[in-house]
Chain A
Amino acid sequence: MLPQFSYVRPETLKDTVKHLSAGGAAIHAGGTDLLGCLRDGIMDVDKVVSLSALHDLRGVKETADGGLIIGALTTITEVSENPMILKKYPCLAQGASEVASPQLRNQGTLGGNLCQKPRCWYYRGEFNCLRKGGDICYALGGEHQFHAIFGHDRICIITHPSDTAPPLAALAAKVRTMGPDGKRTLPVETFHVLPRKNPQVETVLKPGEVITYIELPRPAGNMRSSYRKVRARRSWDFALAGAAIALEMDGDRVIDGRVVLSGAAPVPWRAQSVENAIRGKTLDDATIKRAAQAVAEGADPLPENTYKLDLFKGVIEEELNAVR
């Protein structure tokens, strides 16, 4: 059951920031993650600040330089079906279409998807784990077959669940925010926080700060992008392993590009080893094999999630073949 909280629905961004700046406030965008977190009692919230009245933060617009601006309150369904996104940034549309279930995509927002709390059955369960202010990461010594193999430093091995953050990071997207100190623009790539920096926060947002828009740069003319997600069941499930790939191509040759993994780490995980293995190379079988092998570099798998190494290799191989 949901605990008690007060509720406010400000009409302006300014008021929103004001309400959020007080302690114990939480943002309600689509509410799909927030209500789950509240039901599971994983955070203390005194006040829910709803963004529902901020109509300006919804919708997709083309920018003058050929990029896109997506309002933070644009729903995941809208992102997955937007013709401009489908055409120019297919990996983002694909990622959005793989999120949760149709109803949750109809309700959840792109901003919310970036800011959602990560997933771990200990963190979301009745365990006073490190991320909730406790002493240990239960998953580390416990049941962790769904957990991270990168970037956890054996501090907290939670996985970041977003299917839109990896494509956005691969596309070099930026988030615009508004906070008590004014506006900021931050790359999606560095938006999330690793456990070694602070295992109790997920993003670099400061108290009172809220995402307003997501900026997508104009894609290179010969950009190929794709998102692929493997999960334990085919709907309503987070990635066991996923990869967003956005490559600037010259024929068969990769000029440059990014590969960002989901289900891999406590944050969306940029696989630079894979990028290095394909940059400047022709995407032939040998390159793809090498790149797939490279994905395992720097991984720190645990006894029950070692399978993810092979799974990521398979995903990278399939993905590179798909954009080839």
Chain B
Amino acid sequence: MAEDSNVYYTEGLPVPETPAPGDKPAFWKQTDVVGKRIPRVDAYERVSGTAVYPSDIKLPNMVYGAILRCPHPHAKVKKVDASRAKTMPGVRAVITGVSPKVKGLNWKYRNYTGPLFDSHCRFEGEVVAAVAADTRYQAWDAAHAIEVAYEVLPYVADYKEALSESAPKVHDGGNLAGMDEYERGDISRGFAEADAVLEETYETPCQIHTPMELHGCVANWDGDRLTIWESSQGVYAVQSNVAEVLGIPLSKVRVIGHYMGGGFGSKLKPGKYTVLASLLAKQAARPVKMILTREETYLCVGNRPANTMRLKAGVKSDGTLTAFEFECIGPSGAYPGGGTALVDWLVRDLYKCDNVRCRSKDVYINAGTARPFRAPGHPQGSWALEQMMDALAEKIGMNPVKLRLKNIPAISQGRSEPYTTTGLKACIERGAQQFGWKNALKRAKEQNQSASHIKRGVGMGACVWYVGGGGPPSTVIIKLFRDGSVNLNMGASDIGTGTKTVMALVTAEELGVKPEVIQIEHADTGTTQYATPSGGSKTVPTESPTVRNAAIDVKRQILEMAAEDLDVRTAELDYEGTEIVWRKDKSKRIRVTDVGRLKKRGVVVGVGYRGPNPRTKTVNPFGAQFCEVEVNTKTGEMRVLRFLGAHDSGRVLDRLTYDNQVFGGIVMGIGFGMTEFRQLDGKQTGKLCNRNWHDYKLPTALDVPVDMESLPIEIDDPEANNTGTKGLGEPVTIPTASAIANALYMATGIRFTNAPVSPMGMCRRLAARKEG
């Protein structure tokens, strides 16, 4: 144990004032640790290879699980014969729909509840049986030695046909999963007032999350106590799902997810595989490792649904938007999954427009169920709205940047309440300036007037994200040990965004300790505090204020203790990091590590809770992205030359991880706009054509520009929460694809209403244009 508290404290570092009990902490005017470029606190583990991800877990006596899945998009299981599988080498457990242990177990999709093993398979990839065996290979062999008789049923794969009379019914009640309508003002009046009205239909593809770490878990029973290591965005969500399905108390389910290799929304909840691993582990009386294959993850762990959107827009010649009419259809998949969720939000909320009507229809098809995918609905809506904005700008002869600036809303129109802060205008204005919009535009025009078949374009898109303000519940514990070192205990997962790091920085800022002496315990329902899953870009604005509250609680307690030592009133003491000082006579002071009760108790435990969000205002992040592209009009090849992301996500906690997040969102947006689409064999079998990373193409290092810039638009937002933070992870991928589409339009004069714009699509459109 170090005697010298300097090991743990930064000498002379100013520490925020400790608010009186009951008072809210003051907004940080300036920060000393927060906002700097600081490598991650867990970087060593991640680069040394010592970080143990759930798929790395190996327990004594552990066996491996594999799942047999329905190969048809729509079928009824008539008979399952596992007799051969049971006798195969290494097999320890076999579960099918008729196993006694699975009787009465149910699985939920939002508001739908059905049996865990449903003999009516409504999508390719539905579970039919599961096996545990000594090696992964043996488990796979045995699962596929199970003989199943199916009655193959007619399927519906095309969501646009799902509501037609002749379409096979996914559920008895029909294929309409849900409808949503929204209206404000009077659109007919709005269109009547317009000088120009445009209407266009846009389509976006089904995108698959494909995080690098496969979905899966290790499940282990100790008597009636179940421990699960799951690759997850939220351990408490896994705990509650599994406990509910198995009918056991929450206290008996411990879920651990220290590291996880990406989720993007697909790991907000557990999968059937989690329950199957638990059941197999019970039956085999051994720990079971159940890691899906890559191919399986394309079928059954979620997707961003495809959408078809019709947008009609009216604008006055001065740029005032007068009306939006938006219609959207999209598939939930086989079960409720949010086929059109939030697709219309940008139309409702991003630009000022008094007359708006949105209608959407969510339908069932015989394919894997959608799950939230990074900014659900938004990149789709952006693809329509931001291209429409450019088209309107062209129609009335206005610069697209100007048109957007003309329509900055003062309040959130979708919610009819003010934003705490809005950086939309600043993101567009300062982003355009930093990007060099005018020069880029000029360069592109010059290039396009030349004889070269290489054309150039610049484009932009802006965004708001539906949530991003976070909120309760959240509980965090900070322990200050008697040597001055600190332990931060929170339930939230770090899904790669740097949650652990930024929370350490917040703690360091508040307590004056060095970030590196903070040990973090997180993402474990057995030992860390309740947290909602890391998703919705809410982890930072949810957890960081809680962390700050916990740190303040530590300070308050330490001050009370020091008051005893110094024999003065608590209220007259200042916490200065290394020392506690009497305000009336600064010579009366005590080192934190000398505080008597701390020394005796060994530790001070501070508890922080997340306070409520502002009641009459909404907290939302904003952004604008700009890009420059090049098109080879002979071959259809496209190059994204550079990108700039200007994002208002409130206070930046770590500039290094912040920039990384911005660039990552752009890369994912490039995939959405240019390379990714799920392809079903709709006309013949309804099966999935592309279930691997070759046929389903993610952008590689050669598909993204080296020239990427991040421009944080930091606006003080003390009303949002006590750290002034807003979410970042999702907004950064919203306008990327639409910015590219706008740039491609400038380069080619072709409006790409269907995403993604691949060289195939580019060639088709260039050829069609040639033919006139």
Contact = CB atoms under 8 A, between A and B. Distances in A.
- In the complex, A touching B, CB below 8 Å? yes
Interface of A: 1-4, 121-122, 124-127, 138, 141-143, 145-146, 230-237, 240-241, 306-311, 313-315, 317-318
Given A1-B136, A142-B684, A314-B634, A307 B764 contact: yes
A142 B683 contact: yes
Contact of A1 (B71, B140, B683, B703): B140
Contact of B759 (A1, A230, A318): A230
A314 B635 contact: yes
Contacts of B293: 1
The 7 A-B residue pairs whose C-beta atoms are closest, nearest first, are: A314-B634, A234-B702, A1-B140, A307-B763, A235-B700, A314-B635, A310-B767
Contact of B701 (A2, A126, A143, A235): A235
Interface of B: 66, 71, 136-137, 140-141, 293, 632, 634-637, 675, 679, 681-685, 687-691, 694-695, 697, 699-703, 758-760, 763-764, 766-767, 770
A37 to B, nearest CB: 13
Given A122-B689, A138-B684, A311 B635 contact: yes
Given A4-B141, A230-B637, 18 more contacts: A1-B136, A121-B695, A127-B685, A127-B687, A142-B681, A143-B679, A143-B689, A230-B635, A233-B697, A233-B703, A234-B700, A307-B760, A307-B763, A309-B767, A310-B766, A310-B767, A311-B635, A313-B634
Nearest to B137: A1
A125 B687 contact: yes
A96 B679 CA distance: 29
Given A121-B689, A233-B675, A143 B697 contact: no
Contacts of A235: 700-703
A117 to B, nearest CB: 13
A311 B137 contact: no
Residue in A121, A138, A233, A317 whose Cβ sees the most chain B Cβ within 10 Å = A233
Contacts of A124: 695
B700 A314 contact: no
A234 B137 contact: no
B681 A143 contact: yes
B766 A126 contact: no
Given A126-B687, A142-B683, A311 B694 contact: no
A195 B629 CA distance: 40
B136 to A, nearest CB: 7
Nearest to B770: A310
Nearest to B695: A121
A307 B689 contact: no
A191 to B, nearest CB: 24
Contacts of B700: 233-236
Contacts of B687: 125-127
Contact of A126 (B71, B694, B703): B71
Nearest to B761: A307
Given A122-B689, A318-B634, A307 B767 contact: yes
B759 A232 contact: yes
Given A125-B691, A311-B636, A141 B760 contact: no
Contacts of A232: 675, 697, 758-760
A313 B635 CA distance: 8
Contacts of B683: 141-142
A207 B763 CA distance: 42
B482 to A, nearest CB: 51
A237 B697 contact: yes
Nearest to A146: B760
8 contacts: A4-B137, A121-B679, A232-B760, A233-B699, A233-B703, A309-B767, A310-B766, A311-B763
A4 B700 CA distance: 33
B760 A145 contact: yes
A145 B690 CA distance: 13
A286 to B, nearest CB: 16
A145 B764 CA distance: 11
A2 B688 CA distance: 21
Contact of A138 (B136, B679, B681, B699): B681
Contacts of A237: 694, 697
Contacts of A314: 632, 634-636, 763
Contacts of B689: 121-122, 125, 142-143
A145 B685 CA distance: 17
Residue in A146, A234, A307 whose Cβ sees the most chain B Cβ within 10 Å = A307
Given A126-B71, A232-B675, A315-B635, A121 B690 contact: yes
A230 B758 CA distance: 11
A146 to B, nearest CB: 8
A232 to B, nearest CB: 5
A268 to B, nearest CB: 20
A2 B758 contact: no
A126 to B, nearest CB: 6
A237 B694 CA distance: 7
Contacts of B636: 230, 307, 311, 314
A128 to B, nearest CB: 10
Contact of A234 (B682, B703, B760, B763): B703
Contact of B681 (A1, A4, A122, A234): A122
Residue in A124, A146, A311, A315 whose Cβ sees the most chain B Cβ within 10 Å = A311
A138 B137 contact: no
Contacts of A311: 635-636, 759, 763
Nearest to B701: A235
Residue in B66, B681, B700, B770 whose Cβ sees the most chain A Cβ within 10 Å = B681
Contacts of B635: 230, 241, 311, 314-315, 318
A313 to B, nearest CB: 8
A2 B684 contact: no
Nearest to B66: A1
A190 B426 CA distance: 64
A211 B760 CA distance: 35
Residue in B634, B691, B759 whose Cβ sees the most chain A Cβ within 10 Å = B634
A258 B694 CA distance: 30
A170 B71 CA distance: 43
Nearest to B675: A233
A241 B760 CA distance: 10
A323 to B, nearest CB: 16
A313 B688 CA distance: 32
A45 to B, nearest CB: 15
A2 B760 contact: no
Contacts of B679: 121, 143
B226 to A, nearest CB: 27
Contacts of A317: 634
Nearest to B696: A121
A240 B760 contact: yes
Contacts of A231: 759
B384 to A, nearest CB: 24
A236 B699 CA distance: 10
A3 B694 CA distance: 21
A241 B681 CA distance: 23
A317 B633 CA distance: 12
Contacts of B137: 1-2, 4
Contacts of A309: 767
Contacts of B766: 310
A235 to B, nearest CB: 4
A237 B692 CA distance: 12
Contacts of B764: 306-307
A105 to B, nearest CB: 14
Given A230-B636, A230-B759, A310-B767, A236 B694 contact: yes
Contacts of A125: 687-689, 691
A149 to B, nearest CB: 12
Nearest to A140: B684
A241 B634 CA distance: 12
A250 to B, nearest CB: 27
A141 B697 contact: no
Nearest to A125: B689
Nearest to A315: B635
Contacts of A141: 683-684
Contacts of A121: 679, 689-690, 695
